[in-house]
Chains A and B, each alone.
Chain A
Amino acid sequence: MISRFTYFKPHNLNEAVQYLEKEENAFVLAGGTDLMILLRRNLINAEHILDIKALPEMDLFNFVDGAGLTIGASVVVNRVVDSEVVSAKYPALHQAAASLASFQLRNRATVVGNICNASPGADLPPALLVYDAVVNITGPQGTRQVPLNEFFTGVKRTVLQRGELVVSVQLPEPGAGDKSVYLRQARLRGHDLATVGIACRLKPDGKVAIGIGAVAPTPKRLFALEDKINERGISKETIEWAAQEIREHIHPITDVRSSAQYRLQIASVLLKRGLLSLIGKEE
Chain B
Amino acid sequence: MDKECSMYKEHVESGKRKVTLSLTVNGRHVVRDVDPNMTLLHFLRDNLKLIGTKEACGEGECGACTVIMNGKAVTSCIILAVEAEGAQITTVEGLAKDGKLSILQEEFISQDALQCGFCTPGFLMSTRALLDNNPNPTDEEIIEALSGNLCRCTGYIPILKAVKRTIERERKESGF
B-chain residues with CB within 8 Å of residue A9 when the two chains form the complex: 82, 85
Task: Say yes or no: A103 contacts B16, CB within 8 Å.
Answer: no
- Say yes or no: is A104 at the interface (Cβ < 8 Å to chain B): yes
- Once A32-B83, A36-B79, A51-B83 are accepted as A-B contacts, the answer to whether A6 and B146 lie under 8 Å apart by CB is no
Q: Give the interface size bracket for A toward B.
A: 20 to 34
- Say yes or no: is B60 at the interface (Cβ < 8 Å to chain A): yes
* CA–CA, A41 and B4, complex, Å: 9
Task: Say yes or no: B75 contacts A105, CB within 8 Å.
Answer: yes
Most chain B beta carbons < 10 A, residue from A1, A39, A51: A1
B-chain residues with CB within 8 Å of residue A29 when the two chains form the complex: 80, 83
Could you say which of B66-74, B88-96, B167-175 contacts chain A? B66-74
* CA–CA, A194 and B165, complex, Å: 34
A-chain residues with CB within 8 Å of residue B6 when the two chains form the complex: none
A-chain residues with CB within 8 Å of residue B15 when the two chains form the complex: 4
* CA–CA, A234 and B126, complex, Å: 45
- Say yes or no: is B10 at the interface (Cβ < 8 Å to chain A): no
- Name the one of A4, A6, A78, A191 contacting B61, with C-beta atoms under 8 angstroms: A191
Number of interface residues of B (CB under 8 A): 35
A-chain residues with CB within 8 Å of residue B33 when the two chains form the complex: none
A102 (CB) vs chain B CBs: closest residue: B148
The smallest C-beta distance from B154 to any residue of chain A, in angstroms, reads: 16
* CA–CA, A159 and B144, complex, Å: 35
* CA–CA, A257 and B16, complex, Å: 39
A-chain residues with CB within 8 Å of residue B80 when the two chains form the complex: 7, 29, 32, 36, 49
B82 (CB) vs chain A CBs: closest residue: A7
* CA–CA, A175 and B176, complex, Å: 44
A40 (CB) vs chain B CBs: closest residue: B58
The smallest C-beta distance from A56 to any residue of chain B, in angstroms, reads: 16
Task: Say yes or no: A102 contacts B147, CB within 8 Å.
Answer: yes
The smallest C-beta distance from A113 to any residue of chain B, in angstroms, reads: 12
The smallest C-beta distance from A28 to any residue of chain B, in angstroms, reads: 13
- Name the one of B4, B19, B77, B146 contacting A7, with C-beta atoms under 8 angstroms: B19
- Say yes or no: is B63 at the interface (Cβ < 8 Å to chain A): yes
* CA–CA, A37 and B96, complex, Å: 32
Task: Say yes or no: B16 contacts A108, CB within 8 Å.
Answer: no
B69 (CB) vs chain A CBs: closest residue: A107
Which 5 A-B pairs rank lowest in CB-CB distance, beginning with the nearest? Answer: A102-B148, A36-B78, A4-B14, A7-B36, A104-B148
**Would you give 29 A-B contacts (Cβ < 8 Å), ordered by A?**
A1-B7, A3-B14, A6-B16, A6-B36, A7-B19, A9-B82, A29-B80, A29-B83, A32-B79, A36-B39, A36-B77, A36-B78, A36-B79, A36-B80, A37-B60, A40-B59, A40-B77, A40-B78, A42-B4, A51-B82, A53-B83, A102-B63, A102-B148, A104-B66, A104-B75, A104-B148, A105-B75, A191-B61, A191-B147
Residues of chain A touching chain B, judged by Cβ–Cβ distance below 8 Å, are 1-7, 9, 29, 32-33, 36-37, 39-42, 49, 51, 53, 78, 101-105, 107-108, 190-191
Residues of chain B touching chain A, judged by Cβ–Cβ distance below 8 Å, are 4, 7-8, 14-17, 19, 36-37, 39, 58-61, 63, 66, 72-75, 77-80, 82-83, 85, 126, 144-149
